[in-house]
């Protein structure tokens, strides 16, 4: 870290100075910016109000002047109703006489007054100008509109054909006694001569501001204190959104950049009589010039205050933290003296303030550290004694070399003393084929990765004899530096015992497979003998008995076949076993009209439970085919195996339900399985008792047999 004179960037004094100065500077500048923004808004509001007041007075004055002139024309138009509207000399003389008798009109209209008949032809004017009488004005849209609807209006400013200057007219209709429009009376205002518009054209607003009289509907600047803007069209729609907003009827103040690229503050007020508006525009550089000057002064003051605050903060912290710096120097000197074995000295306390309390805390810490060092030395001595006399072989290595071994490891590796191993490479005691993996683990430990908690390794004794070891590693600090602690256990005998057990297990597995295979084959032979005997027997009752015996033997043979296929001898999947059994039992009865419907949930049960379940299902299916579907009757036979709901719903219930039902002819109304003399149903009762379950029938006469039993766990099976 660089140093700049007294300024050391790593010192607490410098960091606190920079941090507190930054906070003060940020506060000062934030306040300056905030105040500047508030003042800007306030000044803008004041300027907007001032401009609106100024432009409002002008708009009201112009509106009054137009109203007075419009009223004067309307008064003359009432008297002109008796004058003819034709272009005859008599009507022209009468119209001219009427205008000559109203000299006040010439004082109100500096461009003169023109009498125009219904056909748009001027028949009289005052004062008389050559070429005006006899001209046709039907090309003027405002004049045509007044001849059509009879309404008075202020016409659009145009360049006069006679006066050759910008003019606009106030147009008033002339009606006869019946109210029909006979013509119009037009009072002209010559904008090139002095008129009531002089307050707009003759003065500016400030140094660079201007007044404007505009026609929003025509998007035209009628006149202005800026000569370059007289009779100039406004920018097209969309070019300047703020001008479009004014043209749409907004009255007030907006700030925007005008077509000349200058930011201006513009206020606008309407002139209702003519549907015009008076606007004033002032560049913001002039409008906010005092505010900009004030903001510059504020920024200079903020810079000065920032520098002053930074210096004061540095001086104050330098003075307040000097005892802490002196204590740090003495603490460093004390730490250096501790390497020589000298006791640590307490730090002096010069002031009883927070820094004094901090130094007092350091003194307590030094005392505690001294006690802990003594306890640590004693603990290390006890630890080294325990390691050296531990019966477990222990080694410590660093950078791939042994740095400590205990006597147990010396004995395991066949050495005479620890000197035979200390300093030797770890890889020398690992078989060659395992050294690549060991080297990877050593590199990972050197990079700070946690070692593998437990793994097997093929190791070598000092004389080169290999042995199998179980290794457990842990990262430690040994003699003040990182190292790796390794615990070894000779597992050669254990691995040999495990291999012997695996060999014995494979032999027993082969034996059990052979037993189940032979039992299945023997049962199938018995089943085949019963089938042959049944085919030779002529008595029907004997055939049925032999068929039932064949079904029972087939059920047991199928169970052993399932065990043989799965390779599991402790349990069988009851759902798969019952499915195969039900399908074979239905095929054995040879009825294609009875449809088998299965709904079996998987569950593992022991051989002791699978055998009675299979026999019970075989008897119930045989009973259904014999008594439920006689004489080739069709129907559905349903077999369900589902778990019962657990009341607390926290774990799978051990209780299951095996249900067999059919939609055949049903059972007698007085049927009771306890009183049945049928061998098959007696066997069903006995098998239910063997399973420890509860067998229910019905509801009668519906043929449904339901067995509820508990699936035994492995420990319960072992107890049985």
51-286 folds as: Beta-Lactamase (3.30.450)
Distance CA 383, CA 386 (A): 5
Give the bridge partners for 472, in sequence order: 487
**DSSP per-residue string spanning 377-438:** HHHHHHHHHHHHT-SS-EEEEETTEEEEE-HHHHHHTT-SSGGGTTTSBGGGGB-GGGHHHH
Distance CA 401, CA 422 (A): 8
CB atoms within 10 A of CB 692: 11
Q: Could you tell me the two tokens for 20? A: 């507190």
Distance CA 78, CA 100 (A): 16
Identify each DSSP E strand in 461-573 by its residue range.
466-478, 481-490, 572-573
Distance CA 224, CA 276 (A): 13
- Please list, in sequence order, all residues whose beta carbon lies within 8 angstroms of the beta carbon of residue 413, skipping any fewer than 6 positions away: 393, 421, 429, 461, 462
Distance CA 161, CA 125 (A): 15
- Taking the alpha carbons of 291, 296, 301, 306 in that order, is the dihedral positive or negative? positive
CATH says 389-490 is which class? alpha beta
Helix (H) or strand (E) holding 159: strand 158-159
Helix (H) or strand (E) holding 271: strand 263-271
Q: Is 267 helix (H, G, I), strand (E, B) or coil?
A: strand
pTM of the prediction?
A: 0.43
Distance CA 555, CA 488 (A): 55
Chain centroid to CA 246:
44
Q: What is the residue extent of each domain of the chain?
A: 3-38+291-332, 51-286, 389-490, 491-569, 574-720
Q: Is 125 helix (H, G, I), strand (E, B) or coil?
A: strand
Q: What is the pLDDT of residue 506?
A: 65
The most distant pair of C-alpha atoms in the chain lies apart, rounded to whole Å, by 156
Q: In residues, how long is the chain?
A: 720
Distance CA 425, CA 435 (A): 11
Q: Is 451 helix (H, G, I), strand (E, B) or coil?
A: coil
Alpha helices in 80-191 (DSSP H): 89-100, 103-108, 141-149
Q: What are phi and psi of 41, to 5 degrees?
A: -65, -40
Q: What is the pLDDT of residue 2?
A: 42
Q: Residue 576: name the closest of 641, 655, 660 by CA.
A: 641
Distance CA 142, CA 121 (A): 15
Distance CA 324, CA 340 (A): 25
Low-confidence ranges of the chain (pLDDT < 70): 1-17, 82-88, 317, 320-321, 324-325, 328, 331-347, 350-355, 376-389, 451-453, 504-570, 590-592, 646-653, 713-720
Distance CA 220, CA 217 (A): 8
In this chain, the answer to whether the domains covering 51-286 and 574-720 adopt an identical fold is: no
**DSSP per-residue string spanning 608-655:** HHHHHHHHHHHHHHHHIIIIISGGG--EEEEEEEEEPPPSS-SS--SE
Taking a C-beta distance cutoff of 8 angstroms, is the pair 158, 75 a contact?
Answer: no
Q: Could you tell me the two tokens for 339? A: 């390497």
Please state, in angstroms and as integers, the Cα–Cα distance from residue 638 to each residue in 134, 471, 613, 701, 705, following that order.
Answer: 117, 60, 16, 16, 11
Taking a C-beta distance cutoff of 8 angstroms, is the pair 453, 475 a contact?
Answer: no
CB atoms within 10 A of CB 636: 12
Distance CA 434, CA 427 (A): 9
Sheet holding 455-460, edge to edge: 401-405, 394-398, 481-490, 466-478, 455-460
Distance CA 184, CA 173 (A): 4
- Taking the alpha carbons of 501, 507, 510, 513 in that order, is the dihedral positive or negative? negative
Taking a C-beta distance cutoff of 8 angstroms, is the pair 697, 673 a contact?
Answer: yes
How would you write 200-240 as a 3-class SS string?
HHCCCECCCEEEEEEECCCCEEEEECCHHHCCEECCCCCCC
- Please list, in sequence order, all residues whose beta carbon lies within 8 angstroms of the beta carbon of residue 182, skipping any fewer than 6 positions away: 81, 83, 84, 85, 117, 118, 174, 175, 176
CATH number for the region 574-720 comes to: 3.30.565.10
């Amino acid at each position: 870290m660089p140093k700049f004179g007294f300024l050391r960037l790593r010192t607490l004094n410098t960091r606190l100075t920079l941090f507190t100065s930054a906070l003060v500077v940020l506060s000062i500048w934030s306040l300056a910016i905030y105040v500047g923004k508030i003042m800007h808004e306030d000044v803008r509001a004041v300027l907007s109000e001032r401009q609106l007041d100024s432009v409002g007075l002008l708009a009201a004055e112009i509106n009054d002047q137009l109203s007075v002139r419009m009223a004067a024309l309307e008064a003359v138009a009432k008297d002109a109703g008796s004058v003819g509207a034709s272009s005859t000399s008599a009507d022209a003389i009468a119209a001219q006489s009427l205008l000559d008798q109203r000299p006040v009109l010439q004082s109100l209209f500096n461009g003169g007054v023109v009498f125009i008949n219904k056909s748009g032809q001027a028949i009289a004017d005052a004062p008389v100008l050559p070429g005006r009488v006899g001209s046709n004005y039907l090309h003027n849209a405002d004049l045509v509109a007044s001849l059509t609807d009879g309404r008075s209006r202020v016409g659009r400013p145009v360049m006069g054909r006679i006066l050759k200057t910008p003019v606009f007219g106030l147009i008033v209709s002339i009606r006869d006694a019946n109210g029909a429009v006979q013509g119009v009376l037009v009072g002209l205002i010559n904008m090139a001569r002095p008129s009531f518009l002089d307050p707009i054209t003759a003065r500016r607003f400030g140094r660079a501001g201007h007044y404007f009289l505009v026609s929003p509907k025509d998007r035209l600047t009628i006149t202005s204190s800026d000569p370059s803007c007289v009779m100039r069209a406004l920018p097209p729609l969309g070019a300047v959104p703020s001008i479009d907003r004014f043209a749409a009827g907004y009255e007030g103040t907006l700030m925007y950049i005008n077509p000349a690229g200058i930011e201006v503050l513009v206020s606008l007020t309407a002139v209702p009589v003519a549907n015009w508006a008076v606007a004033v525009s002032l560049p913001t550089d002039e409008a906010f010039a005092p505010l900009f000057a004030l903001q510059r002064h504020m920024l200079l003051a903020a810079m000065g205050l920032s520098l002053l605050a930074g210096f004061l903060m540095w001086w104050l912290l330098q003075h307040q933290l000097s005892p802490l710096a002196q204590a740090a120097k003495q603490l460093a000197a004390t730490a250096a003296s501790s390497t020589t074995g000298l006791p640590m000295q307490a730090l002096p306390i010069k002031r009883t303030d927070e820094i004094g309390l901090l130094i007092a805390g350091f003194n307590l810490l030094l005392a505690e550290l001294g006690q802990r060092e003594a306890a640590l030395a004693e603990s290390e001595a006890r630890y080294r004694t325990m390691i050296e006399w531990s019966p477990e072989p222990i080694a410590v290595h660093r950078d791939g070399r042994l740095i400590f071994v205990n006597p147990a490891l010396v004995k395991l590796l066949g050495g005479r003393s620890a000197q035979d191993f200390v300093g030797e490479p770890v890889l020398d005691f690992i078989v060659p084929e395992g050294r690549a993996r060991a080297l990877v683990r050593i590199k990972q430990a050197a990079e700070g990765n946690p070692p593998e908690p437990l793994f097997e390794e093929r190791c070598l004794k000092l004389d080169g004899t290999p042995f199998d070891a179980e290794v457990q590693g842990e990262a430690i600090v040994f003699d003040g530096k990182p190292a790796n602690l390794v615990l070894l256990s000779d597992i050669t005998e254990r691995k040999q015992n495990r291999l012997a057990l695996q060999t014995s297990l494979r032999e027993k597995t082969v034996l059990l497979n052979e037993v189940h295979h032979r039992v299945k084959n023997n049962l199938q032979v018995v089943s085949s003998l019963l089938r042959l005997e049944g085919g030779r027997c002529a008595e029907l009752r004997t055939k049925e008995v032999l068929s039932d015996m064949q079904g029972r033997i087939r059920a047991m043979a199928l169970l052993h076949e399932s065990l043989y296929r799965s390779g599991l001898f402790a349990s069988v999947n009851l759902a798969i076993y019952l499915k195969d059994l039900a399908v074979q039992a239905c095929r054995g009865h040879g009825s294609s009209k009875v449809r088998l419907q299965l709904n079996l949930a998987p569950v593992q049960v022991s051989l002791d439970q699978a055998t009675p379940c299979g026999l019970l299902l075989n008897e119930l299916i045989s009973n259904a085919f014999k008594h439920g579907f006689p004489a080739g009757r069709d129907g559905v036979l349903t077999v369900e195996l589902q778990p019962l709901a657990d009341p607390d719903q926290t774990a799978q219930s051990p209780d299951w339900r095996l249900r067999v039902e059919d939609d055949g002819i049903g059972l007698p109304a007085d049927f009771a399985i306890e009183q049945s003399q049928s061998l098959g149903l007696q066997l069903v009762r006995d098998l239910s008792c063997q399973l420890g379950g509860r067998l229910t029938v019905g509801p009668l006469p519906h043929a449904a047999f339901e067995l509820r039993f508990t699936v035994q766990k492995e420990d319960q099976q072992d107890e049985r």
